[in-house]
Amino acid sequence: MTLTSKKNLSKKALPIVIFTVFLDVLGVGILIPILPQLVFRVFIPAGFTYDQALITLGWLVGIYALMQFIATPILGQLSDRYGRKKILAISLGGTAIGYSLFAIAIITKNIPLLFFSRAFDGITGGNISVARAVVADVTKPKDRTKNFGLIGAAFGIGFVMGPYIGARLASPSVSFFGLFNTPHWFSASTPFWFAAILAVINTTLVLFILPETHKHINHKLKMVWTKSLSNIKRAAASPGLRIVFTSEFLFYGGFTFFTTFFQILLIQKLHFTQSNVGDFFAYIGIWIALTQGVLTPLLAKYFKNYQILRFTFFGMGLALFAQLLPSNATQLLFAAPLIAIFVGLTMANTSALISLSAGAEMQGEILGIDASVQALATAIPAIISGYVATMGVNMPVIVGAVVVMIGGLIFVGFYRPSNHLLHESPAEALAESRAA
């Protein structure tokens, strides 16, 4: 593929892929302020004790990621075999169905349907690896950190709007900055109907606008249905990436401990309302977007990915501990940006480091392995965090901070950059980016 054709593909593909990532994160973000409602308005009324409700909540969050873990490498293989466009469209259509079923489950307080809908959405929502493969397809190696930063910015914006939209659409008859009151028929299910509509729109965009970016389609590619498990084995056995995958697993695991139950801690410790929870996570999302859109590409001009990661793991661990210190909302506003900065930097630089370690024809596969690692890192801690939370709602945050810092120790102590990552100095990279 020539540079000109790759640039044209990039202009067409990147906006749609960014919107796809935004939609994925929006759905996760919408769930954040709704989670406490499930504990107090669905699980406990169904006869669960408080501890049982916390454990059930952990499993509900974990089942989505567990299904994503199983399905993501399969979607990655399918995108290598049939093309990115078709698989993205199918998976987004499934996302719309999953959101609709979850809304119905909330309305009917049907706990089995809650689990089924999250599992179904997890199966079809494993398209993040396909989206990232599209970015790799249309991006020159030296621009991958920047464009993965844009993906991270979409993550941040989705994380901003998801909790905010979830909180507002789930709150009936509440003043919107004094301009008007939300409709009386708003409920906890409303945000998911909204997300389902967005998924339908995104599916339409993929079908009619997104070009096929994969130029190495292999229709004879043999499908490996248990590839999620073999991916973990390969991640553990890969000489060049074993340490990166291990550290990344611990990073996402620690962050999941934090996000699964921190909103309940906010309600109990700082007396946050549902709207306050949505505003808080939206605030974090703003900082993530700023980090990915501004700070990440700036640092990429002067430092290599692995050099940045040597600091961000420890920064993230300390940032999680810092969230336990505030005794009021004002203090929390100063502590929260620390999380966003280190999350944004770590996500973009691990993705770029992993992508740069594989050839163009292997992008779907290597990013599928990466997505499997991330999904498993989200599933296991989410399930465990429900049990940890029964010892105190601050405990998942503490455990998460420790887990992230262990990941940092492993990365600093054992990661050694491959030769192909050393050929270019930061100054040379900066000169090339300016010439481009």
CA nearest neighbour of 56 among 112, 117, 122, 124: 112
Residues counted in the chain: 436
Residues with Cβ < 8 Å from 220, sequence gap 6 or more?
none
Q: Which of 108-122, 279-293, 355-369 has the lowest mean pLDDT?
A: 355-369
Residues with Cβ < 8 Å from 331, sequence gap 6 or more?
325
pLDDT value for 368: 67
pLDDT at 167 over 70: yes
Q: What are phi and psi of 170, to 5 degrees?
A: -95, 0
- The pLDDT > 70 percentage for the chain reads 86
Higher per-residue confidence, 422 vs 220: 220
User: Structurally, how many domains does the chain consist of?
Assistant: 1
Q: Which of 139-153, 247-261, 292-306 has the lowest mean pLDDT?
A: 139-153
* CA dist list (Å): 376 to 48, 68, 89, 221: 27, 8, 24, 25
Q: For residue 233, give its domain range.
A: 3-435
CATH of the domain at 165: 1.20.1250.20
Collect contacts of 245-248 with beta carbons under 8 A, ≥24 apart. 245/354, 245/369, 245/370, 245/373, 246/407, 246/410, 247/309, 247/313, 247/350, 247/407, 247/408, 247/410, 247/411, 247/415, 248/350, 248/354, 248/370, 248/373, 248/374, 248/377, 248/407
Q: Which of 58-67, 135-144, 196-205 has the lowest mean pLDDT?
A: 135-144
The three-class DSSP label of residue 126 is: coil
Residue 261 and residue 55 in contact, taking contact as beta carbons nearer than 8 Å: no
Q: Provide the pLDDT confidence category of residue 160 given band limits of 50, 70 and 90.
A: confident
Higher per-residue confidence, 127 vs 3: 127
Residues with Cβ < 8 Å from 80, sequence gap 6 or more?
214, 216, 217, 218, 221, 364, 365
pLDDT value for 315: 93
pLDDT at 259 over 70: yes
Q: What are phi and psi of 184, to 5 degrees?
A: -70, -20
Separation CA 356–CA 241 (nearest Å): 11
Q: Provide the pLDDT confidence category of residue 151 given band limits of 50, 70 and 90.
A: confident
CA nearest neighbour of 305 among 352, 261, 337: 352
pLDDT value for 423: 43
Q: What are 236-249's pLDDT values in tens digits?
A: 777 767 888 899 99
- The pLDDT > 90 percentage for the chain reads 25
Q: What are phi and psi of 48, to 5 degrees?
A: -80, 145
pLDDT value for 361: 57
pLDDT at 40 over 60: yes
Q: What letter would DSSP give residue 212?
A: P
pLDDT, the chain, mean: 82
Q: Helices 144-169 & 329-355, crossing angle to 10 degrees? A: 140
Separation CA 274–CA 33 (nearest Å): 6
Across the range 326-354, mean pLDDT stands at: 87
Residue that has been written with the tokens 């910015």 in this structure: 153
